Structure 1
Amino acid sequence: MKLERKGGKDAMYPQYLFEYPNVETDFPFYMKKKKYTSVPSHRHDFIELSFVLEGTGKERINGTEHNLQPGTVVLLLPYQIHEYDATPGETLQMYICNFDMKLLTAGPESAWGVYELLIGSDNPRSTHIRLEGHDLEEGLLLWERLYREYESSKAWKPIMLRALLLEALALFVRGSDKPDGKRIERQHQKNSKSIWPIVQYVYNHYLEPLSLTSLSEQFHIHPTQLSTQFGSEFGIHFIDFLHELRIRHACSLLISSDLPISQIAYESGFSSYPTFSRSFHRTKGMSPRDYREQQWRER
């Protein structure tokens, strides 16, 4: 994975994860089983689904803290800021899945509830649940199967992984809908229904001319309110959010093509080369030309 930390005036922004193994394949899914004691504040532009196997600790998602313990399942949407720490003297062992949102919103399953789960609905969505009893036993077996399948090289592997991933999400949804006595307290997000469809739209149309004004008109929300929501949800200004998506696209073109850099700027959605150059340097810490030369040397 790659981490970017902004410097200078943007140093308050959390770390930004923008790549993971397999991200550029036709099945953008990655899974690992790892032990942690502490993970600093960060965000990423892909979905993360995790399952705690051993240990206890605390996680903060957009500033709201919850407990981590065996059986805790966490579903993080793109760009949510989070961090976690193990209890002193302990280690958290976790399964972690990273995957592209389009892996789940492109098929007919989106009409069955997946889209509402990921993008938002009238009811606030739980970011985390804790499986107990029979559900915990079922979860352990399911996540073990998912991990074994990921590590294998069997035929139809992507099909099996997607099926198991959907099963894990179904277990998450059913766990969050338990009666009050079993339900984990929900993390309330104001206006979640209005912000996440916009995030998904920007994610799908970032190469097109976009602005707070045009988005506010399309989604019937005041530009000031939309700007405030981006700041509170992601700790970043809308324009920087948009530019980061475009810079990622530009990086792919710089690495994989010999297009002139000025053309790449426009191919990546920027209306002017100076804006592209400033944004690229702020995000990557170097010029587009230096980035291309560095990547070509490494490859």
Structure 2
Amino acid sequence: MLMYQSKHFETFSTLHTVNQNFPSHLHRCFELIFVVDGEMEVVINKRCLHLKTGQFLLILPYEIHSIITESQSQAKICIFSPDCVPTFRIMIENSYLENPIFDLSSETKTLISRTLFKDNPHLLEQKAGLYLLLSELLEQTTLIKVEKKDSELIPSILSYIQEHFTEAISLKSIASTLGYSYNYLSKYFNKNIGTSFVDFLNGIRINYACYLLSNTEKNITEIAYLCGYENTRSFNRNFVKIKLCAPKKYREKDSDVKALDRVIESTLTFQ
């Protein structure tokens, strides 16, 4: 199941991971990965990239990616909004990086460790560090242009779903709104998102249900309707299919498990 991060991150979000494995997902933010120790595989839009100790990798907004650790890895991840680096955002419009893996000079590494990965960093320091890092990245790779139509369609579809997933929406209604034929959009969605529209929509709705179950006292029937389902039977069936437990059991999970789910929801799904 492909996950879509529909929440717009705060300016920065940083994580320290150990033996990270994460399934296919995408979001509107940049994602910077630095391998502190070990090795990991990162798959970006079906390209498999091997990261070793000391290497950096940059994932661009709306690129479908997953992370696999076969042996062991320690990594630092910085997720930052495109609004934080507007000049670079304009430079990479309708493009992808020929090689998103790069190295940094020792001076820049020192600066990055002080600005991006420290507690309570100063916003201007973070932006300065990012621009220096991005400058060194562009010296080591090439921007490859892609067809504008395709590069803009996925964000348009995902934004529409995010705004209307609690309503009775369908791929036909989205096709009509965006001015595409249903057959074209259906094939495009399956090819580029890697799953059917129905499965994707259910994933968005159930993740929202998890947020409501963990953070509100609303009853399950009310949550089902708030998530866009017309009846609790359909809601319960899809919840069990995706989360492998009933909504009631999910709400009763121990605090540690629910805390982990909240981290995932806040970083890779939505609020």
- TM-score normalised to structure 2 length: 0.70
1:41 to 1:96, Cα distance in 2 relative to 1, 3 A: closer
Match of 2:46 among 63, 86, 90: 63
Match of 1:145 among 98, 102, 115: 115
Q: How does 1:1-299 map to 2 (within 5 A)?
A: 13=1, 30-34=13-17, 36=19, 39-40=20-21, 42-44=23-25, 46=27, 47=29, 48-53=31-36, 58-69=41-52, 70-75=54-59, 77=61, 80-85=64-69, 92-98=73-79, 104=81, 112=86, 121-124=93-96, 128-133=100-105, 137-149=107-119, 157=120, 160=122, 162-167=123-128, 169-171=130-132, 173-175=134-136, 177-178=138-139, 182-184=140-142, 191-294=150-253
The ranges of structure 1 where at least 4 consecutive aligned residues each deviate by more than 6 angstroms after the TM superposition are 187-190, 296-299
Give CA deviations for 1:226-265 in whole Å, capped at 9, x if unaligned.
Answer: 3333333332212221221211221222233332311111
Cα RMSD (Å) of the superposition? Answer: 4.0
**Residue type of the alignment partner of 2:93:** S
SS at match of 1:148: coil
User: Kindly, what percent of the aligned residue pairs are identical?
Assistant: 23
CA distance in 1, matches of 2:234, 2:171: 17
1:177 to 1:83, Cα distance in 2 relative to 1, 3 A: same
Alignment correspondent of 1:4: none
SS at match of 1:51: strand
CA distance in 2, matches of 1:127, 1:225: 30
1:287 to 1:35, Cα distance in 2 relative to 1, 3 A: closer
Question: Which runs of 5 or more residues in structure 2 are unaligned?
Answer: 259-271
Asked whether the 8 Å contact 1:76–1:127 carries over to 2, the reply is: no
Asked whether the 8 Å contact 1:62–1:80 carries over to 2, the reply is: yes
Give CA deviations for 1:85-126 in whole Å, capped at 9, x if unaligned.
Answer: 57x8xx654321346xxxx36x6x58x357668xx8333456
CA distance in 2, matches of 1:239, 1:168: 41
Give CA deviations for 1:140-189 in whole Å, capped at 9, x if unaligned.
Answer: 4224432222xxxxxxx3x73x54554455345534544xxx32575969
Following superposition, the deviation at residue 282 of structure 1 comes to 0.6
Following superposition, the deviation at residue 128 of structure 1 comes to 1.8
1:251 to 1:79, Cα distance in 2 relative to 1, 3 A: farther
1:267 to 1:17, Cα distance in 2 relative to 1, 3 A: closer
1:295 to 1:114, Cα distance in 2 relative to 1, 3 A: farther
Relative contact order, higher structure (CA 8 A, sep 6+): 2
Give CA deviations for 1:189-232 in whole Å, capped at 9, x if unaligned.
Answer: 98222112322332344323332112222223333333333333
CA distance in 1, matches of 2:137, 2:256: 48
**Residue type of the alignment partner of 1:81:** H
CA distance in 2, matches of 1:165, 1:224: 45
Alignment: residue pair count: 252
Alignment correspondent of 2:268: none
1:232 to 1:113, Cα distance in 2 relative to 1, 3 A: farther
1:184 to 1:130, Cα distance in 2 relative to 1, 3 A: farther
